[in-house]
Chain A
Amino acid sequence: MTQRTHANRRHPVAQMYAEEFKAGQIDRREFLARTTALGLTAAAAYTLGGLGAPAQAAGHAQRGGTIRMQSEVRAHKDPRTYDWTQMAYVTHGVIEYLIEYNSDGTFRGMLLEGWEANEDATQFTLKVRQGIKWNNGDDFTAEDVARNIERWCDKAVEGNSMAARMASLVDEATSKARDGAIQVVDSHTVLLTASQPDITLIPGMADYPAAIVHSSYDPTADLSTLVGTGPMKISSNEVGVKAVIEKSGHEWWGDAALEGGGWFIDTLEIIDYGQDPAAWVAAAEAEEVDVFYETVGDFIDIMDGLGWQNSNIATGSTIVIRPNQLAEDGDGNKIYGDKRVRQALAMAVNNDVCLELGYASRGVGADNCHVGPVHPEHDASVGRLPYDPAKAKALMDEAGMGDFEHEVQSIDDDWRKNTTAAVVAQLNDAGIKARHTILPGSTFWNDWTKYAFSSTNWNHRPLGTQVLALAYKSGEAWNEFGFANEEFDTLLAQANSIADADARREVMAKMQAILIDEGVTIQPYWRSLYRHSAPSIVGAEMHIAYLPQAYKWSVAG
């Protein structure tokens, strides 16, 4: 998880300063400077000193300055057809988002003040934040929101990936938004009616292609004239070279509406240093950049060595090393049909060892259920089967598989191969015979769902139910586990109609327990993403889904 300052922990000296301040021995400015230097947040310092909080609570971040970020600079295109998050970094200071997805798995209303779902998650009422203006002076209203959602639903547009996210609002026959799916109730309320329970609609609106554009938007127009609700303007976007985003003078609604405000910096420069991380390091050493887009592999250690701040976040990207329950041996017997065999495999493997050997400890351990702390509905109280090699061997013998040699397939790469090797080694250590077969990438994916026992990598998705629906539901195309469980399917359908994460957690706990008890898979760890920033930069944290949030960044004075 991202490191945070402990706002509640109060330095003892701060209390002393507060008394001196109240006694008139030091002045207000000095008091604030000293206490915040001790690690108190501005808000806490104001409270401690008995001061009224400032109208705009922007105390913790200094305004002004320029941040230079290393990132690819790509050509602009219609946001709904964005296929690189880097494109959104250039525009996110101008065209903004309805909802923000944060690294702790929560969603926060931005241009929307809030939203409500009905009982079975088929109707969503979007409350548009009032008082927001476009930078050309127009009011931002429910009409704008409805028009943008209609744009997203247009499947006929080449490369419009938002249409898939809005699938439950789209009419298959016309490839456009279904009649009545999007209704403007009043000037600040929009009602969405989905064709089926769909809790992924809201997360879909927080993704990077979901930027809200003005009715006059023209993808081919000069980017410096882009109309949006944000306080920035794009002064230049030179593909492959550099993009410059500057304050436009338009007042930002977020300063009043969001706690702490935002857009502290005056200028964000995005400089393209090509694909080679060695060039990024050279740029960092030359003090030409302040923030990386992402730090990868061995360069994480190099950048740590340079004294840059390391921001890392465990994601929902992971690897599963799973038996396929439908796989048959030469005699037509299902090798992994017996639950005890699968449990034995999971119990023989220490997940932390897989993380250390397979991914250089760049992640956090997982509990073999493919739902984790990053997912809002994850129930942390449901843990894995205990690591117990002796009992694993006993279970395997009991199931009559004591002499069977397991063949584990993996792709020929770096981390997936190493993680699989760690599993195989631990199985052998536990006395369960296993061997590792490495397949080249060109052939591995042909049959990836059908191997008897193999490893697969899975990408991050905001909700826990999303990947369960893709990979664990009976009969799904990507169900590589051969897992078919009626109770699980029923629970999944139930969870998918509960929009509230806390209420959904009760159902999720049961699903997690089923996956673990059935020994469906070994899922050893969640991978972390890394970003480095120069010591003078505040708040440039890595985002779990690479989403652009430069409004949180500032330069320390």
Chain B
Amino acid sequence: MGRFILRRTGVLILTALCLTFIVFLLTNLYPNLEKLAKSEGNFRMADHEVATFLSNNGYRSALDPDFLAKVRSGQATDEEIEAGINTGFDARIFRNYGEWLGIVPGYVIEGTDGTTRARCATPGMDIADAPSFCGILQGYWGWSTVFKDEAGSIIGTRLALTGKLMFWVMLLMVPSALIIGVLAGMREGSATDRSLSTVSITTTATPEYVSGVLFIAVFASSAVGLKWFKGTATSAMDNATFENFFLPVLTIALYGMGYIARMTRASMAEVMTAHYVRTARLKGVSFRNIVLKHALRNALIAPFTVIMLQFPWLLNGVVIVETLFNYKGFGWVLVQAAGNNDIELLMGVSVVSVFVVLVTQLISDIGYVYLNPRISVT
């Protein structure tokens, strides 16, 4: 078991490295950097100003000083300027990635404007005081260009808020899904089964952006007039109540609930046709006892994996639901970071996502072993 966990941890780290590098590569494409430079600097920057901004801030290799002098004196033609600026691949990206990881010392660049900038010096910090390494290994997640704050603390706060949302989603989704699944699966083909199956298929076939909008319109707006709940969850960030938090929780929960219920039903139906259940019934065990004592535990093995796999799916769902209900959690940060090409924040978000996906898989694998003695991981 120890070796299995070790092996999975190795895979986790390798996957995280590959994925973050891909995200890093994409966010560091020149058009993205140009957009970043213009929103950080100003929107009227000329091409060579963008290039110097990027090299001064450690995104790209420095421009040739002779070329820059020529451009600034106005002697270069448009074609020359275009040819002189490298907008393609820049080998510096490997160094930048290393800096982000914390295995290469952070840059200290004396810019062409005479200001010295260092990766490890956060705004307001003296460059001399800055540490030489500052990457994910040192616990420094970088600086968010959108929020003007440390990426680590932003991700921390927002993840906690999403955690709160997830907790309530799980609390609502898992028990109700299991109950629906077991009730439907214990008498396959009955009227209960058909009606519950219809409900679960409907909920799982309705995406969050449809059900969320419907819920707001029906339960929260004065258009219908019910106004049972609040159509926004912004105040739930500080003070969650049933009124302001139920709709987002329900929206995410319903989507996953149908899926888990279907899985549980299938598993339950299969167990109910097993030989030992038939034997128990022939021996005169009551239906209630068959379901609760003999079938239930075996039927829950399959849904357990599915429930674990729901965590990554939930990360997916929160992007839509948090935007819809204005709940500023992890999904909202992802949207903001991606929309503004906020490189280090996006990297942090990717790390967390990879971690959540792989850790839940690990837990589901280990849990499976405990639930089903016939399976061995070693």
Contact = CB atoms under 8 A, between A and B. Distances in A.
Is the pairing of A and B real? yes
Contact of A286 (B42, B124, B232, B323): B232
Contact of B148 (A239, A274, A281, A285): A239
A273 B41 contact: no
A77 to B, nearest CB: 9
B178 interface: no
Contacts of A221: 124
Given A158-B41, A158-B42, A240-B336, A75 B232 contact: no
A385 to B, nearest CB: 42
Interface in B325-357: 326, 328, 332, 336
A441 B222 CA distance: 36
Contacts of B227: 285
A495 B324 CA distance: 53
A288 B221 contact: no
Given A158-B41, A240-B336, A279-B326, A288 B147 contact: no
Contacts of B148: 75-76, 239
B33 interface: no
Chain B at the A interface: SS class: loop
Interface residues of B, number: 24
Contact of B146 (A239, A281, A288): A239
A153 B256 CA distance: 59
Contacts of B230: 282, 285-288
Contacts of A281: 221
A282 B42 contact: no
B231 A285 contact: yes
B52 interface: no
B221 A239 contact: no
B116 interface: no
A256 interface: no
A283 interface: yes
B222 A286 contact: no
Contact of B234 (A159, A238, A283): A283
Interface residues of A, number: 24
Nearest to A282: B231
A240 B222 contact: no
Given A75-B146, A287-B230, A288-B234, 12 more contacts: A75-B148, A158-B41, A239-B149, A240-B332, A279-B232, A282-B221, A282-B230, A283-B326, A285-B230, A285-B231, A286-B230, A288-B230
A-B pairs with lowest CB-CB distance, top 8: A282-B231, A286-B230, A75-B148, A239-B147, A282-B232, A220-B123, A220-B124, A283-B232
Interface of A: 75-76, 158-159, 218, 220-221, 238-241, 271, 273-274, 279, 281-283, 285-288, 305-306
Interface of B: 41-42, 123-124, 146-149, 216, 220-222, 227, 230-232, 234-235, 244, 323, 326, 328, 332, 336
13 contacts: A75-B146, A158-B41, A159-B42, A220-B124, A239-B148, A240-B147, A240-B336, A241-B328, A282-B230, A283-B326, A285-B222, A286-B231, A286-B235
